[in-house]
Structure 1
Amino acid sequence: MQQNQSGITSHTEFLLLGFHGLGGYRQFLFIPFFLIGVLSFVGNAALIITIKTGSSLHSPMYVLICINACVDLTLPVIFVPKMLLSFLFDLSGISLLGCLFQMFFIHFVGSFQSTVLLGMALDRYVAICIPLHYNDYINRSTFCKFSAVVTLRNMFFVLLVVVLASHLSFCSSNIIDDCFCQHMALVSLGCGNTSKNSIIGLLAVFSITVIDAGLIVISYIKIFCDIFKTHSGKSREKAIHTCGTHLIVTGVSFSFTMSALLSYRFKSSLPPNIHNLISIMYLLFPGTFHPIIYGIRTKAIREQMLNLFQCKRIGPISTKVTSIH
């Protein structure tokens, strides 16, 4: 603990004690979350390799799917190792600086979950509604400008939230009832008036997640209106199938996001263990489902995955036959 300029003693070390209500059974959580983490890592790594090695998968739509897989791959790396060590060896301590760094990277990387989905929606809107101008709007220059704008936007709001949280004094408790450092979990331990932190937190959610979600909804409304007006037969079926896949991924992502946001607003009415589970689901589970959804519903990705798997199986056998001859 240390004293700030106001003479208030503030905690500088915290304990991440998510699922503490399970007592001695808490260590058994290592097994399911380790398996989910591995599944998410392997699935997204396979999706990235598939898109990178498939020459027919280098169009903007597949590049965005690859970026989404990179986001889903990165998020667990930020917090899962620390969480698993906490479950298995009760290593729950984290410094204030470490907590702030973890908070920044979780929220910054997590903010791109909605941003990449927005990019996919805009790509499909241009491809379906104004296909003759697709190359005019969807090109490297547009991609770089879009990436720069959304990255600066996300970084500004997340950095603002983290900087404000770093100026709080934590004089009452140093126990964070969560498995990782989130903004509201840390701010709830702050002394004095934390209304500014809550307002800026809500502003960040609105400026990133809510605006992205609104633009996604508008894009798909216009897409489906255009599909049913100007498309027919196989063209309509293909467009609906492609958009349906993206909508499933979008629905999965925003369902977990909204569950996490609502769980913090109604935290007092939820059992702590349920709240902890929802918090982890928001970050970990979408990345587990996305590779499965794309692998099942996207023919080009599925065929490229099968080709890679078959090449790896055939490769060693071919080498062995050549050595015999």
Structure 2
Amino acid sequence: MSALNTSVLRPAGFILMGFPGIEHLQHWLSIPFTVLYITALVGNSTIILVVKFEQHLHTPMYVFLSMLAFVDIGLCTAVLPKILEILWLNSKDISFEGCFIQMFFIYMFVTLESSILVMMAYDRYVAICNPLRYTTILSKTLVCKAFVAFFIRDLVLTGLIPTLASRLPYCSSVCISHCYCDHMAVAKLACTNIIMNNYYGLFVALSILGVDAIFVGFSYIMIFRAVLKLGSKGARLKALNTCGSHLFVIMYFYIISLFNYLVYRFGKDVPVHVHVVFGVLYLLIPPVLNPMVYAVRTKEIRHAFLRHFLPRKIDSDLSHR
């Protein structure tokens, strides 16, 4: 009897329902998801390789950029292969352990992305507001200590999310109304009170994403104040254009992430497919947009890419001058 109860409370696996309510569109959704995933992999891998091969790019700004690219690859890879498996092959099964491992990596990469965005915002703040002391303030020691501190924070706080959820008794349905193992989508299957899981997930969202978003917003306010004091109108417009595009992508990440956390707790009337679509968008779109905003629009990255991957084009351009 004890063995029976244990097997009921801990099923062998779960069934991911994909996109409930829009099942007829699932095959069509596979096309843009595949394109976006390949774009994210190629774009972020290129950034990592370019920064690795170019010695003059081994500065905090580009180290943060390559770290962001690495996290973006991990973030979309944590969910997209399984989503594409559901869309292409209709393979919806996921093991009990696999579900919570996926949950851990999703939230770990999301919080790491937030941490790196904070470090990048501080990097830009120091570069624009205190350029003469940039190398002194952002030393290798400070960068390493900051990353380790953020990593430990994210590991401890997010590690408890799948740990607590995996200890819940699952004695009824094993069908998850989602295309990946989202925390609340899984916890709602438990046949017990999940108020602790609910509040802890909200605490993590507000203490990491909420606090980080405030810090990033404050940093960019200070950056914009410094930019507006620049003497040249052209320099002001260029700086505002660059910082504006960065801020757009950053705010997209935080707004959609926090919306995804809050809608499960307070959006009782929101259709399930809206939950699922927003849950995918905040994991997939930033890894696609970040290389375009941070790399394509950065002259040093563009030139380094051309030198390593299109050397003939560089030689041709020089010969025409």
How many Å separate the matches in 2 of 1:25 and 1:2?
39
- State the partner residue of 2:105: 105
Secondary structure in structure 1 of the residue aligned to 2:15: strand
Aligned to 1:69: 69
1:3 aligns to what? 5
Residue number in structure 1 paired with 2:142? 142
CA contact (8 A) 2:16 2:180 kept: yes
Shift of 1:250: 1.1
SS in structure 2 at match of 1:181: coil
Q: How does 1:210-221 map to 2 (within 5 A)?
A: 210-221=210-221
| Alpha-carbon spacing, 1:314–1:61, altered in 2? closer, same or farther (3 Å) | closer
1:116 to 2:116 alignment:
yes
Structure 2 alignment gaps of length 5 or more: 316-321
Distance in 2 of aligned mates of 1:266 and 1:8: 30
Q: Distance in 2 between matches of 1:258 and 1:140?
A: 32
Q: Which runs of 5+ in 1 are unaligned?
A: 316-325
Corresponding residue SS for 1:21: coil
1 CA distance for matches of 2:215 and 2:307? Answer: 36
Task: State the alpha-carbon separation in 2 of the partners of residues 313 and 132 from structure 1.
Answer: 36
Aligned AA for 1:125? Y
- C-alpha distance in structure 2 between counterparts of 1:153 and 1:291, whole Å: 26
Q: Is the 8 A contact 1:18 1:273 kept in 2?
A: no
Q: Distance in 1 between matches of 2:170 and 2:109?
A: 26
Structure 2 CA distance for aligned equivalents of residues 108 and 188 of structure 1: 21
Q: Is the 8 A contact 1:256 1:286 kept in 2?
A: no
Q: Alignment RMSD, CA only? A: 2.4
State whether structure 2 residue 271 is matched by structure 1 residue 271. Answer: yes
1:244 alignment partner in structure 2: 244
d(CA) in 2 for partners of 1:312 and 1:188? 57
Q: Deviations over 1:129-154 (max 9, x none)?
A: 22232222201100111011100000
Displacement after TM superposition at 1:312 (Å):
6.5
User: Aligned AA for 2:306?
Assistant: L
SS of match in other structure, 2:127:
helix
**Higher deviation after alignment, 287-296 or 162-171:** 287-296
- Give, in angstroms, the shift of residue 266 of structure 1: 4.7
Structure 2 letter corresponding to 1:26: Q
Q: Distance in 2 between matches of 1:257 and 1:160?
A: 19
* 1:31-90 Cα deviation digits (max 9, x unpaired): 221111111111111222222233332221121111111111111222211221122222
Q: Which residue of 1 aligns with 2:256?
A: 256
Give, in whole Å, the separation in 1 of the partners of 2:174 and 2:165. Answer: 14
Distance between the aligned counterparts of 2:314 and 2:243, measured in 1? Answer: 35
Equivalent pairs: percent with the same residue?
Answer: 36
Q: How does 1:41-80 map to 2 (within 5 A)?
A: 41-80=41-80
1:232 aligns with 2:228: no
Match of 2:158 in 1: 158
Residues 249-295 of structure 1: per-residue CA shift (max 9 Å, x gap): 31232233234234323543222222211111110111111112234
Displacement of 1:224 after TM fit?
Answer: 2.3
1:168 matched to 2:153:
no
SS in structure 1 opposite 2:94? strand
Task: Find the residue that maps to 1:94 and give its secondary structure.
Answer: strand
* 1:263/1:270 contact within 8 Å kept: yes
Q: Is the 8 A contact 1:2 1:12 kept in 2?
A: no
AA matched with 1:11: P
Comparing 84-93 with 139-148, which one deviates more in the overlay? 84-93
- How many residue pairs are counted as aligned between the two chains? 312
Q: Provide the C-alpha distance between the structure 1 equivalents of 2:136 and 2:147, rounded to a whole number of angstroms.
A: 17
CA gap of 1:27–1:236, structure 2 versus 1, over 3 A, is closer
Counterpart CA distance in 1 for 2:301 and 2:252 is: 20
- Matched residue type, 2:200: I
Q: Is the 8 A contact 1:75 1:283 kept in 2?
A: yes
Q: Give the 4+ runs in structure 1 shifted more than 6 A.
A: 312-315
Q: Cα distance, 1:92 vs. partner?
A: 0.8
1:299 aligns with 2:299: yes
Shift of 1:236: 4.3
Alpha carbons 1:15, 1:94 under 8 Å: kept: yes
User: Displacement, 1:95?
Assistant: 1.6
Task: Tell me which residue corresponds to 1:323.
Answer: none
TM, length-normalised to structure 1: 0.87
Distance 2:115 2:43 in 1: 21
Is the 2:198–2:265 contact (alpha carbons within 8 Å) kept by the matching residues of 1?
Answer: no
Which range is displaced more, 158-167 or 52-61? Answer: 52-61
Is residue 165–residue 197 contact of structure 1 (8 Å, CA) maintained in 2? yes
Inter-CA distance 139–194: structure 2 relative to 1 (3 Å threshold): same
User: Does 1:192 find its partner at 2:192?
Assistant: yes
Instruction: For residue 195 of structure 1, report the CA deviation from its aligned partner.
Output: 0.7
1:88/1:228 Cα in 2 relative to 1: closer, same or farther (>3 Å)? closer
Q: Which residue of 2 aligns with 1:319?
A: none
Q: Which amino acid aligns with 1:175?
A: C
- The 3 A distance-change label for structure 1 pair 101 and 314 is same
Residue 238 of structure 1: CA displacement? 5.3
Instruction: Rate the CA distance shift 1:56–1:246 in 2: closer, same or farther, 3 A.
Output: farther
